[in-house]
Amino acid sequence: MAEAAYTTRTNRNRLTYIGLWALATVAYIGLAVAGYPAVAAVAFFLFGGATFALGRPASMFDERDTDIIEEASANTIQVVGLGSAIVFPTAAILSGLGYIEFPLWLAFAGVVIALVFALWGGFLLLARRRR
């Protein structure tokens, strides 16, 4: 009986955790697109911060979840990396040849992607150091 209650509570916390992060993301994007970037940041902070009341994510997820998250993360890094390797040089070449004008938002996207990969590289080094 205690096992069933633990499992039910864990599943409810897991769904609440995921739901709060999804709500934080949707609220942030929606409010930012609507022209309220400060309100968007506050909403993201509040919904994302509410997840801390649920406890550590490690207590809600088990080995199966870890394997799934690792696979999804690896696939995401691979797709973003390959997409960046195709899109940015192609846009730069076409811009250099005068076929398109390199949009400013693409430069910002490139900076964000570069920062994500720098962060990933840092965590990769840290993980290797721990082993």
Pair of tokens at residue 15: 């769904």
pLDDT tier, 60 (very low <50, low <70, confident <90, very high otherwise): low
User: What's the pTM?
Assistant: 0.58
DSSP H or E run through 44: helix 37-50
pLDDT at residue 1 is higher than 60: no
Alpha helices in the chain (DSSP H): 2-33, 37-50, 63-96, 104-130
Q: What is the pLDDT of residue 42?
A: 95
- The mean pLDDT value for 32-44 works out to 94
The domain locations on the chain are 1-61, 62-131
